[in-house]
Amino acid sequence: MQFGRTKILRDEADITEDNVVQVLLETYQTHSINSSHIKILYDNYKGNQEILQRTKTIRPKICNKIVENRANEIVSFKTGYLCGEPLQYVSRGSDESVSEEIGKLNDMMMLCGKAKQDKELAEWMYIAGAGYRMVLPNAERIRNHIVPTLLNKPIPFSDDEAPYSIYTLDPRYSYVVYHSGLGEPPLMGVKYVQQKDNSVIYSVYTPTKYFELKGSALNGSAKLIKSKSQVNALGCVPIIEYPLNNARIGVFETVLSILNAINTIQSNRIDGIEQFVQSLLVLYNCEIEDDVAEVLRESGLIKLKAFGDNKADVKEIASQLNQSETQTLVDYMYQTVLNIVGMPNRNGGTSTSDTGSAVIMRDGWESAESRAKSDELMFKESERQFLKIALRIIRATVGTTLKLSDIETKFTRRNYDNILSKSQVLSTMLSNDKIAPILAFTYCGMFSDPEDAAKQSMEYYSKIKDGAEVETYNTEEKVGGSIA
């Protein structure tokens, strides 16, 4: 299996009715290779790993197949660490009207269930090396009559629905084709569904057109259905690829051989214990028929009688693996996996002289945070493309004054580590009249949205300074009876 997925590039400047079939069939060949590798990685994530096909030639009946599903552990940790809290959009400036519009945008994302979609997307990114998201206008009348709708006045939506829908696509059955020119802009997005009769329905989106094709999974053919082709008035490809890295390599893909070795070692350990319990019986200087030997073996009792100088004897062959040395090897391999994928370890530590920062560095949490920030950069670049499409739909329906440059994507992680030091930094910076308060809130590292935190704090401080009554928050009521 190759490492990473191949980015699909084409030289065509535009996809039309004349070349869409040829481009689809040729790019599908590259995608099918990527898809086969993704299926292997997804099987490993689910627990269907190489050790389950294990065979033994010696004592084949004792053949344990133990799966330590570290692949699932790695993906679950990475996904939870990156998207454990919902993504939020915040204002990049201090304009009140912009902040209000961004609040409405966050409400629309909540109505779309975007937090769940982000979690699914992150899972695919960490498993396959890339995830795919699709955004389309929500109302059926917009999808069916998108051209005249986008030219007419804004369409009212109720407060209980968003003007667009978000979908997380399965990377095994979807892909994006890019132009090979400067910047490699997206040329077309493809999603397909295989039906029970082995026919395949391809949905192809280009910046200006939507094509639907029907083909066969048996011979790899495809034919354009002209009656279902239409204009794509969005002006862009609504399928967005979210690569985890430039190589599009999954998070546990580089350590898959080590994970397989750990499974093999653990299976052999269980074999060793079972073979010790079922140790072989050796008879010296005596002969017993096979059927008699089987009966005696099951009963656990053998009576022997010596004749002459050749004394009869019975011994068991019993030898165990050195469990302490084996565990040392397993621990080393697991620690190597954690170092490569950037996960914290669980060894804790007993030193009483460690500071909080030293513990964070020693146990790998700093590495986990730096990897998460790197993943954020890749995610935000694709998220910018998603927001561009979402804003186009919002402008054409409910209307908005937001521009892409007004919005910043924030990943919320509860920064409780070193909280005392951070609060001291905040207090020291706020007491210096040469430092703007917003800088103190930004660089102390306590808040995921420092601008909003600074705004609320200044409003609260102003009310106290003016002697006005301020609202007292009951923490337990705010979080449903538990302290956050």
How many angstroms separate the first and last alpha carbons of the chain?
A: 45
Cα 39 from Cα 316, distance rounded (Å): 47
65-94 burial, b at 16+ Cβ within 10 Å, e below that, comes to bbbbbbbbebbebbbebbbeebbbbbbeee
409 found inside a domain = no
Measured CA to CA in angstroms, residue 163 lies from 197, 367, 398 at distances of: 35, 40, 7
d(CA 194, CA 402): 40
- For the cut 90, the answer to whether the pLDDT of residue 295 exceeds it is no
List the domain range (segments joined by +) for residue 444. 415-484
Q: If you ran DSSP here, which 8-state letter would residue 156 be given?
A: P
C-alpha 253/C-alpha 341 separation (Å) is 9
Q: Is 131 part of any domain?
A: yes
Please tell me the total number of residues recorded for the chain in this structure: 484
CA 177 to CA 241: how far, in whole Å?
A: 10
Provide mean pLDDT across the span 147-158. 52
C-alpha Rg value of the chain to the nearest Å: 31
Considering Cα of 382, then 387, then 392, then 397, what sign does the dihedral take?
positive
Mean pLDDT of 454-476: 70
Instruction: Give the pLDDT confidence score for residue 358 in this predicted structure.
Output: 52
For residue 11, is pLDDT > 90?
yes
Asked whether the beta carbons of 118 and 86 are under 8 A apart, the reply is yes
Asked whether residue 267 is domain-assigned, the answer is: yes
pLDDT digits (tens, 9 = 90+) for 327-340: 888 889 999 999 99
- Per the listing, tokens 């004792």 go with 62
Domain for residue 187, yes or no?
Answer: yes
pLDDT at 482: 35
pLDDT band at 415 (very low <50, low <70, confident <90, very high): low
pLDDT surpasses 60 at 404: yes
Q: Decide if 173 contacts 184 (C-beta within 8 A).
A: no
Which amino acid is residue 112, in one-letter code? C
> Do 213 and 178 have their domain in common?
yes
**pLDDT the model gives residue 147:** 44
Q: Say yes or no to pLDDT of 240 above 70.
A: yes
- Find the mean pLDDT for residues 321-349: 83
pLDDT of residue 439: 85
Which region among 73-77, 246-250, 378-382, 470-474 has the lowest average model confidence (pLDDT)?
470-474
111 plus 165 within the same structural domain:
yes
Query: Do 319 and 175 fall within a single domain?
Result: no
Check residue 345 and give its pLDDT.
82
| pLDDT at residue 63, as a whole number | 85
Average pLDDT of the chain is: 82
From CA 251, how far away is CA 128, in angstroms rounded?
Answer: 8
For residues 240 and 120, state if they share a domain. Answer: yes
Report the pLDDT value the prediction gives residue 347, as an integer from 0 to 100.
Answer: 65
| Mean pLDDT on 129-150 | 70
Same domain, 390 and 464: no
In a domain, 403, yes or no: no
Residues of the chain with pLDDT > 70, as a percent, come to 76
Token pair for 245 = 């890295």
- Rounded to whole angstroms, how far apart are CA atoms 6 and 181? 17
Amino acid at 309: D
**Residue 410 lies inside a defined structural domain of this protein:** no
Residue 408 lies in a domain: no
Q: Identify the pLDDT of residue 359.
A: 55
Band of pLDDT at residue 412, cut at 50, 70 and 90? confident
Distance of CA 294 to the CA centre of its chain: 54
Question: What is the pLDDT, as a whole number, of residue 368?
Answer: 87
385 and 441 co-located in one domain: no
Query: Residue 10's beta-bridge partner residues?
Result: 179
Q: Tell me how far apart the alpha carbons of residues 233 and 295 are, in angstroms, rounded to a whole number.
A: 82
Q: Provide the pLDDT confidence category of residue 473 given band limits of 50, 70 and 90.
A: very low
Let me know whether 316 and 428 are in one domain. no
Which of 10-24, 256-270, 335-349 comes out lowest in average pLDDT? Answer: 335-349
- Shared domain for 473 and 324, answered yes or no, is no
- Grouping H, G, I as helix, E, B as strand and the rest as coil, residue 224 is strand
How many folded domains does the chain comprise? 3
What tokens appear for 51 in the block?
């050790």
Residue 306 confidence (pLDDT): 61
Q: Do 355 and 331 share a domain, yes or no?
A: yes
pLDDT, mean of residues 441-448: 78
State mean pLDDT over 144-171. 68
- pLDDT for 179 equals 95
Residue given tokens 């086969």 in the structure block: 36
Query: Once rounded to an integer, what is the mean pLDDT over residues 157-176?
Result: 86
Q: Are residues 244 and 262 in the same domain?
A: no
Task: Give dist(CA 427, CA 435) in Å, integer.
Answer: 12
pLDDT score for 213: 93
| Assigned domain for 371 exists | no
> What are the CA-CA distances from residue 207 to residues 170, 176, 188, 244 (Å)?
21, 12, 7, 24
Could you tell me which residue, 317 or 166, shows the higher pLDDT?
166
User: How many angstroms separate the CA atoms of 41 and 128, rounded?
Assistant: 7
Predicted confidence (pLDDT) per residue in 82-92, tens digit: 988 888 888 87
Distances from the Cα of 175 to the Cα of 28, 66, 75, 153, angstroms: 9, 35, 22, 34
If we measure between CA atoms, which residue out of 412, 450, 445, 480 comes closest to residue 85? 412
Q: Within this chain, do residues 242 and 262 fall inside the same structural domain, yes or no?
A: no
Higher-confidence position of 404 and 444: 404
Sequence-separated (6 or more) residues with CB below 8 Å from residue 1: 37, 40
| Interval 37-56 mean pLDDT | 92
Given a cut of 80, whether residue 472 has pLDDT beyond it is no
Q: Is 98 exposed, middle or buried (0-12, 13-18, 19+ CB in 10 A)?
A: middle
Looking at the fold, whether 203 and 221 belong to one and the same domain comes out as: yes
Q: How far is CA 425 from CA 179, 263, 422, in A?
A: 49, 47, 5
Whether the Cβ atoms of residue 239 and residue 134 lie closer than 8 Å to each other: yes
pLDDT for residue 395: 87
